[in-house]
């Protein structure tokens, strides 16, 4: 998602409902090495977006922490917070302090699995890369990934095409089997070798590790047999 935001910031912000011109800001928050996923300035103020795939403990407190650190950097500009949920998992949309001096903080949660995939496919190519995570059955999502791959292929140059298809394949692995993703990319209008994507590199590394493990087991067995002899 950070790759997509770097490719087209306005397109990614449009998914959570922020439209118009935007410029990226430093994601490193003051007084720590903490970094938000996406921080941008728009005509209406500062926007902070977190991308979530899996539930994490104390996520609501983290959102409050992000807000306070951003406030240390800029006390006066309007600040809006969003969470873009990449798969069907529960994510809180507020925090209320249980102490006597109540502190409440809210943010907007956008669930990708509830969005219309057609809307993402008719937007800039960057949003097509996330369309597979939108509403649909596994069969429909495979078709959506095919449409996204064809759209990205038709509307981008070679370097950007590889980047966006790689992001699309990586995001698709959240909801689709890898075999399906590989088939879709190989059958795209302009096929992209899966090995050139982040997902492909991950598969390659897994294969190398599995091969080394088998090699170690064989070597141990040979060593044991030689010792016995």
The series of mean pLDDT values per 10 residues for the chain, 229 residues long, is 94 95 88 86 96 93 93 92 96 86 87 96 93 95 93 89 89 91 76 57 62 70 60
Residue 34 is predicted with a pLDDT of 80
Distances (CA, A) of 172 to 30, 46, 146, 164, 178: 34, 30, 11, 12, 8
Residue 96 is predicted with a pLDDT of 86
Q: Which residues contact 120 (CB under 8 A, 6 or more apart)?
A: 15, 127, 128, 130, 131, 134
1-112: CATH topology is Trna Endonuclease; Chain: A, domain 1 (3.40.1350)
Residue 203 is predicted with a pLDDT of 56
Residue 90 is predicted with a pLDDT of 94
The whole-angstrom separation of Cα 7 and Cα 10 is 9
3-state secondary structure 11-65: HHHHHCCCCCCCEECCCECCCCCCECCEEEEECCEEEEEEEECCCCCCHHHHHHH
Q: How far is CA 158 from the centre of its chain?
A: 22
The whole-angstrom separation of Cα 35 and Cα 37 is 6
Domain ranges of the chain: 1-112, 115-220
The whole-angstrom separation of Cα 121 and Cα 151 is 8
Residue 97 is predicted with a pLDDT of 82
Count of CB atoms situated within 10 Å of the CB of 159: 8
Global pTM exceeds 0.85: no
Strands 45-52 and 94-96: unpaired
């Amino acid at each position: 998602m950070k790759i997509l935001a770097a490719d087209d910031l306005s397109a990614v912000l449009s998914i959570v409902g922020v439209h118009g011109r935007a410029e990226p800001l430093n994601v490193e928050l003051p007084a720590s090495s903490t970094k938000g996923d996406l921080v941008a300035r728009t005509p209406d103020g500062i926007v902070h977006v977190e991308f979530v795939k899996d539930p994490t403990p104390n996520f609501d407190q983290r959102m409050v922490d992000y807000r306070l650190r951003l406030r240390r950097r800029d006390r006066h500009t309007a600040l809006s917070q969003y969470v873009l949920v990449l798969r069907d998992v529960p994510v809180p949309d507020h925090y209320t302090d249980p102490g006597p001096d109540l502190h409440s903080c809210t943010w907007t949660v956008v669930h990708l699995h509830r969005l219309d995939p057609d809307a993402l496919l008719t937007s800039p190519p960057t949003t097509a890369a996330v369309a597979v995570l939108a509403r649909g059955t596994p069969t429909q999502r495979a078709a959506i990934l095919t449409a996204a791959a064809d759209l990205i292929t038709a509307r981008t140059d070679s370097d950007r095409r590889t980047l966006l298809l790689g992001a699309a394949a990586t995001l698709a692995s959240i909801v689709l089997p890898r075999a399906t993703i590989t088939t879709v990319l190989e059958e795209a209008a302009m096929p992209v070798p899966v090995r050139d994507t982040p997902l492909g590199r991950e598969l390659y590394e897994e294969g190398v590790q599995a091969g080394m493990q088998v090699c170690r087991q064989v070597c141990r067995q040979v060593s044991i047999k030689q010792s016995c002899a």
